[in-house]
A and B are shown apart, each in its own frame.
Chain A
Amino acid sequence: MPMNEPPRSARSNVRASVAFLALLACPAILHAGPTDPTLVISSALAAGAPNRIVLVRGIFPGSDLVQNPYPLQCLVHSLVDGTAYVRFAIADQAYTGSDAALADGLDAADVPGLLAAGTVAPDGQVIGLRPDRLDVVLPASFPAGPAEVQFFVLEPGDTVPVLSNPFPVQVPLP
């Protein structure tokens, strides 16, 4: 039988806890400008075969993405060889590629190169958007195995991107 989940009155406490943990985990947020977004990944789960989905939960401007094509990016970075990635330009397309700069993880310096690179992956797509959850379908070519998911955004006119914390995910075989 279905059971109850935490009541609405617990929301603010949950949000505050998630945000606090994010601040500890993601120093970039501390240096964010006045309207920089808060980007936090609190969980990530991959499932399905042959079509594989990654469910990413956290804090991101989900309500704004209904109104506008905000340039949020979601990077799924394989840890198998350390360089393969799929980048979901949330309001646009998915791009795949390989970037040696990702071998030590995504940092701000990697972002301009990532945004300029990659090959369009028609079978990768954003399949679901909710205020606290983003669902993406991985391209068939993306390797199975350990990976990391990370949000980032570089707004037009800005030179410093905002990055979320990375979150591990185990990608199943297609």
Chain B
Amino acid sequence: MITKARFLATMTLLSVGLLGGDCVMRISDPTDAMLDGDLVDGSTGRMAEIVPGGPWMKPGPDGRFETTDDLIYPNYTGDADLVLRTGITSLGATFPAPVTPSAAPVGIAEPFGQGVGIPFVVSGSARSPRDAPGPPTNAPSLAGAPVVVAAFADLDRDGFIGITDLDGDPFDNGIEESELDHVGRTVAIVQAGQASGVLRLRAGGPAGNPLTIVLAAAAFAGPLDPAFFGGAVPDGPMVMTEIPFYPRTDPADFINAGPKGPSPPTPGGLLGVQIEPAYEPRFGDPRVGERFTIPVDGSAQTVSLAVGRSGAFTRFGLGMRPDPATHKSAPERPIRPGLDDLDQPMAYEILHALTVADDGAGNPTELRVVPLDRLGNIADIASTFAVTVQTGGTLQIVTPDTDGDPFRETVMVDHARGTSIFVDDGGLAGDDASTDLLVIDDGVAPNAVEVTLTFP
């Protein structure tokens, strides 16, 4: 294991450039093929943390990304520092090609470690471009380092992870933003240059629309110092595979622990890490373009594919087809794959809460009564269920109406595609209570969706 002093000593000057007043250097360290040649920010003396293929980015004087003083250098591109492969747990002398979609390992989404996980292995890559990584290297700066592995899903089935126009649709960015929330993450420790493990997913789709997933990784590279997070996290820069955004790289943001660091990992213990965007790609910015977008056809070389299937059916819930033009991504508004009436793939927002305009009768909202697994994914079912949907007496179920009761309806659901209902406020605009509750019950396990009625 290298020491901090040695680590800093190896950062010798290879070349110098000036970029907008910043001094740029490169690491020269023949003993660490992963970091050798990587860019050093001359203003801080620390290695530049760049997503493979992405531009060099700095938050600017205010210390925060997504503000007007962001510094983005498109001519400096991140190389392949970390490479991940799915379906295997060890590497030989070379990285095998990423799995193709048809050969991707399948995970099943269940909680409490009960799901079928995705095997993976991660290693440092000798200096190489994003599109041709390798070979694997036993990087001394990664010895004993925890590697965070996260899964990202192609929720809108457009063939890409991330906010993109490569799908030909410039109006679905709100849905695509949901793809920046991981659908599973775990930690593996580097031993002999490789970190392997199994990642369990919290998202998946039914048989007719399984979820395509990419596994990515990030780690801090450097010496383990007892004075730095208790010696559990290397004191050095973050290295990464491709990631669909620029992540938070400050260890204090990344690690859920105080200055003493996280406790030693224990079976069933907390992982204590977050992987979240510091900068969400805006393709309106030509300095960034589509450089964070990850295709899910197997062509991305530093990451690898998996398939997510939903878990066992437990109860029913409500889905709503998101409006691509108005949907706002948020953790409490998960998008999950389902099916339309013709069994074609369709993304639904699984409702935790619903907001309806108190604008008088007319203009109803279509909802879908869908079978769910324990993690809120649309699940397959093998028989027909009678599902009762009931409101608290304000929101009305206008279609179907087989019993003359506008506040209660029983519908039959026999497939993952679910069954449509239409709800609306009644009467006139502004005449309703401001809240209501939709209860969905198959007689075994109920579900509920809170409703807010707003007067425009």
Contact = CB atoms under 8 A, between A and B. Distances in A.
A11 B330 contact: yes
B326 A91 contact: no
Secondary structure at the B interface, as helix, strand, loop or mixed, is: loop
A4 B349 CA distance: 13
Nearest to A55: B448
B439 A48 contact: yes
Contacts of B330: 5-8, 11
Contacts of B434: none
A132 B160 CA distance: 27
Interface stretch (A63-71, A105-113, A144-152): A63-71
A122 interface: no
Interface string A44-68: 0101100111010000010111111
A4 B363 CA distance: 16
B200 interface: yes
Contacts of A133: 332, 352
B376 A67 contact: no
Interface string B315-341: 100001001001011111110000000
A102 interface: no
A11 B180 CA distance: 13
Contact of A35 (B182, B263, B445): B263
Interface in A89-139: 90-91, 125-133, 135, 137
A34 B446 contact: no
A170 to B, nearest CB: 12
A1 B267 contact: no
Interface stretch (B220-228, B354-362, B378-386): B354-362
Size class of A's contact patch? 35 or more
Contacts of A37: 270
A121 to B, nearest CB: 15
B112 A90 contact: yes
Contact of A66 (B202, B326, B357, B441): B202
A33 B272 CA distance: 12
Nearest to A125: B445
B365 A67 contact: no
Contact of A91 (B111, B177, B260, B447): B111
B268 A35 contact: no
Interface in B102-128: 109, 111-115
Given A6-B330, A67-B186, A45 B450 contact: yes
Contacts of A11: 330-331
B416 to A, nearest CB: 17
B447 A3 contact: no
Interface in B355-375: 355-357, 359, 363, 365, 372, 374-375
Contact of A2 (B114, B270, B320): B320
B9 interface: no
Nearest first, the 6 closest Cβ-Cβ pairs linking A and B are A48-B446, A91-B112, A3-B355, A47-B448, A34-B258, A66-B202
Interface of A: 1-8, 11, 33-35, 37, 45, 47-48, 51-53, 55, 61, 63-71, 90-91, 125-133, 135, 137, 155-156
15 contacts: A1-B357, A2-B365, A5-B328, A5-B355, A8-B328, A34-B262, A47-B439, A51-B444, A55-B448, A66-B375, A68-B112, A127-B314, A128-B376, A131-B331, A156-B266
